[in-house]
Amino acid sequence: MERTNNRHRNLLPALALGSLGLLVDGGCGDNTAAMASGPLDLIPITDINPAPDVVEVKLVATVGQTKYLDTGPAAIWGYGDGAKAGAGAIVPGPLIEARQGDTVIVHFTNHLPEPTTVHWHGVRVSNAADGTHATQHQVPTGGTFDYQFSVPDAGTFWYHPHVRSDVQIERGLHGMLIVRGGPAIPVAADRAFVLDDVKLDGAGRLSEVTDSTDLMLGRQGNVTLANGRADGSITVKNGARERWRFVNAANGRYFSLRLPGHRFTVIGWDGGILPEPYSADTVLISPGERYEVLVDLARPPQDALALETIYYFRAHGMTFVEPEAVLRIDFAGQAAAPGSLPTVWGEAPDVAVDQNTRVRNLILGEQTATGGGADPRFLINGASFPNVPPIAATSGDVEIWSVKNDTEMDHPFHLHGMFFKVLDVDGVAPSHDGWKDTVNIKHPNTLRFAVRYGAAGRWMYHCHILEHAELGMMAELVLAPKQ
């Protein structure tokens, strides 16, 4: 069991707390290994249940304020820790941490001015806890809903609304859920970063303007954020090996991360630790995806570096932009030599297919706005949600989905409630293996994945560019129980 964690005793600067106006001591953990520290740590939620294998929390969604820029506060919607008196909305929401196999109970209260739900992205929850329109009624203003599920997989997950997600997630409703477990990896720090961007006006407020480019390509902001901060920094030691977990919570922006002079060792994807880590100069993270990397930091003391996101061509007509800093890395001091890495990592996805495996063919399409103020539509097999016929299948069966991107832009394709294994892209097998629940499908490729269907119920699949999902690129997989 890996014990490095992000629970911390450092107090966050008031800036990051927005309207919270309350300093929080999150240092209740049993810290037996080096802790990540610094102003960018996520704030852990309070576990109100003393049982070691139950994480029980009170989560609220409410309106609040945060300061993305020095120019002024932005009105936000965010999650808060309902167990803390007076706790308000923070962006990102509080960090929920559990251990593999735990039961998670979330008492959710909606204090937003509109209905919402909470979806546990990537977690193989029971269908009733999936937080979509297919599994529950929307939680009205002032209403409550209890989510209860177990967390069978170690990895980096996240939570967010599944109602008007393009608006609600953009306003700040998203948080990370880390399930600890898997091989012990000796690191000087295990840090978690929620990547996002926001479109701010000159006064530092969230822009209310949604233009046709936002709808067509997915809204990209003008300010990138790491853990809700535009100017975030961490302090590291020369020679240290750190583990960094990333989720891309942005509506439309792809992060293509690079740390000049360094390489990443990619150790994990959506579904947890990979069977074989690999080394990479850049890590492309499309909306909804998670990546975990190790980085061996090497710079003299007093040096500083930026973790950057570099240009990635994901849509027809996207113009070149220079690299943008996501996070500043300050070097101070010298670390002891890192311990040795595990010899056994994760398990390879065990889903086998042959020529008799049933294939589901999906074509992603788009319909540009036809004038007269009409919005563009995004299509699956020629139809828009909710008119896409559901895929009807049986829990436990193995099938292949062949998804053809017939549009002029990439789409990050997400399936709820289960993981899949990518088989090939235009017939070419990928160079790395691991479980995914969200995968970028470049235009004009056809990507095939194999999936062993999970629990019975109604599971959504959709593009995770949130404007695309809300404009129709979304549908259901309906699984009947195995006879």
- Footprint (CB under 6 A) of ligand C2O, residues 10-29: none
Specify whether the CB–CB gap between 295 and 327 falls below 8 A. Answer: no
Q: Is the Cβ of residue 4 or residue 132 nearer to ligand C2O in the bound state? A: 132
DSSP state of 417: S
Considering only residues 219, 258, 299, 468, which one is a binding residue for Cu ion as defined by CB under 5 A? 468
Angstrom distance (rounded) from CA 246 to CA 330 = 19
Residue 468 has what DSSP assignment?
Answer: H
For residues 55 and 49, give the distance between their C-alpha atoms in angstroms, rounded to a whole number: 6
Q: Report the SS3 class of residue 114.
A: coil
**59: closest CA among 173, 195, 205?**
173
Q: What is the C-alpha to C-alpha distance for residues 163 and 86, in angstroms, rounded to an integer?
A: 26
- Per rule CB under 6 A, is residue 180 in the interface with ligand C2O? no
Pick 26 or 268: Cβ nearer ligand C2O: 268
Region of 64-72, 262-270, 296-304, 457-465 interacting with ligand C2O (CB under 6 A)? 457-465
Binding residue for ligand C2O, selected from 7, 111, 119, 180, defined by CB under 6 A: 119
Choose among ligand C2O, Cu ion, none what residue 465 binds, the Cβ cut-off being 5 to 8 Å by kind.
Cu ion
* Short-list 34, 36, 43, CA closest to 11: 43
Is residue 467 within a helix (H) or strand (E), and if so which, with residue range?
Answer: helix 466-470
Contacting residue, 411, 416, 436, 448, with Cu ion by CB under 5 A: 411
Cα–Cα distance, 169 to 92 (Å, whole number): 10
Under rule CB under 6 A, residue 462 binds ligand C2O: yes
288 sits near ligand C2O (criterion: CB under 6 A): yes
Q: What is the 3-state secondary structure (H, E, C) of 150-214?
A: ECCCCEEEEEECCCCHHHHCCCCCCEEEEEECCCCCCCCEEEEEEEEEECECCCCCECCCCCHHH
Binding partner of residue 288 among Cu ion, ligand C2O, none, CB cut-off 5 to 8 Å per kind:
ligand C2O
Q: Provide φ and ψ at 467, rounded to 5°.
A: -65, -40
* 465 binds Cu ion, rule: CB under 5 A: yes
Residue 111 is a binding residue for ligand C2O (CB under 6 A): no
Task: Give me the count of residues in the chain.
Answer: 483
When asked if residue 229 is in the footprint of ligand C2O (CB under 6 A), the reply is no
At 191, list the tokens.
Answer: 């840090």
Q: Which of Cu ion, ligand C2O, none does residue 121 bind to, with CB < 5 to 8 Å depending on kind? A: ligand C2O
Near ligand C2O by CB under 6 A: residue from 217, 460, 465, 473: 460
Instruction: Provide the minimum distance between the beta carbon of 394 and ligand C2O in the complex, in angstroms, as a whole number.
Output: 22
Q: Nearest distance from residue 123's CB to ligand C2O, in Å?
A: 11
Stretch that binds Cu ion, among 180-188, 354-362, 411-419, 448-456 (CB under 5 A): 411-419
Is 1 or 369 the residue whose CB approaches Cu ion more closely?
Answer: 369
- Contact positions toward Cu ion, by CB under 5 A? 411, 463, 465, 468
- Contact positions toward ligand C2O, by CB under 6 A? 119, 121, 160, 162, 288, 414, 416, 460, 462, 464
